[in-house]
Amino acid sequence: MPEVRHSPVAPTRALWLTPGSGIDAHRHDDHQIVYAARGVLAVSTDAGAWVAPATRAIWIPAGAVHAHQAHGRLELHLVGLPTTENPLGLARPTVLTVGPLLRELILAYTRRPHDDSPARERLRAVLLDELRASPQQPLHLPAPRDTRLAALCAALHADPADNRTLAALGRQVGASDRTLSRLFAADLGMSFPQWRTQLRLHHALLLLADDLPVTTVARSCGWASASAFIDAFRRAFGHTPGAHRR
């Protein structure tokens, strides 16, 4: 990521981003919790991409270079934490589950005034306690290093509905399906079907943020039917696409 901006202190604040806008690559000396109360947030790093709807937050560790992208009208809440406060001991960006209590704590903590009052310190302590109980979610879409794998992944990013087999995709990039299966496991830590499902769920979140109909999202992301998409979405996020939109 070129021209990385360095902000020593990770800000604690709330802001709105218009659809398609973003925050360029930057890093902080502090940790940061990034939460989209409305819209869908995409965070990208050299190691891959993370997408978070309103039931998820993204933990950004100190020093991690990252950029934000808004999908839909984004209500963004940022919580900065010093490096001494890492309740989950996380060393890389991670998606966390945000339940109703953690959501309200983040919203309250990012409102002004940002002072050192005892009430605010108590709010911070409860927020950290709730973070410690937040399950991590496997919503990371890792970036491949191998050139053949990168070409294959780029083709599916461009068209998530591409239903070709790994063998057929391998003929396009000059590698056998056995080689590519080995690369998916070694380079990305998941199988090809797992990675493709993850990719499609990421794209589905972005399309839902643009208010596209569920049937259109299902078809655009490669599911055979809307019901198959709804089932996969519910298993990944705990609710249906319709409930997600509401």
| Domain(s) of CATH 1.10.10.60: residues in the chain | 144-245
What pLDDT sits at residue 175? 93
* Terminal alpha carbon distance of the chain: 35
CATH 2.60.120.810 placement within the chain = 5-140
Q: What confidence score (pLDDT) does residue 53 get?
A: 79
pLDDT (0 to 100) of residue 3 = 64
| The predicted structure's pLDDT at residue 20 | 83
Q: For 205-217, give one letter per residue: b (16+ CB within 10 A) or e.
A: bbbbbeebebeeb
Mean pLDDT, 10 residues at a time, the chain of 246 residues: 69 88 91 90 84 85 91 89 88 88 94 83 92 79 89 94 95 94 92 93 87 92 94 86 72
Distance from C-alpha of 49 to C-alpha of 32, rounded to nearest angstrom: 16
Domain 5-140 fold is Jelly Rolls (2.60.120)
pLDDT of residue 220: 95
Burial environment of residue 55 by CB neighbours within 10 A (0 to 12, 13 to 18, 19 or more): middle
Cα 91 off chain centre by:
16
Structure tokens at 50: 């993370």
In 3D, which of 239, 159, 235, 245 has the Cα closest to residue 210? 245
| DSSP-assigned states of every residue in 26-44 | EEESSEEEEEEEEEEEEEE
Q: For 144-245, which CATH superfamily applies?
A: Homeodomain-like (1.10.10.60)
CA distance 129 to 67: 27
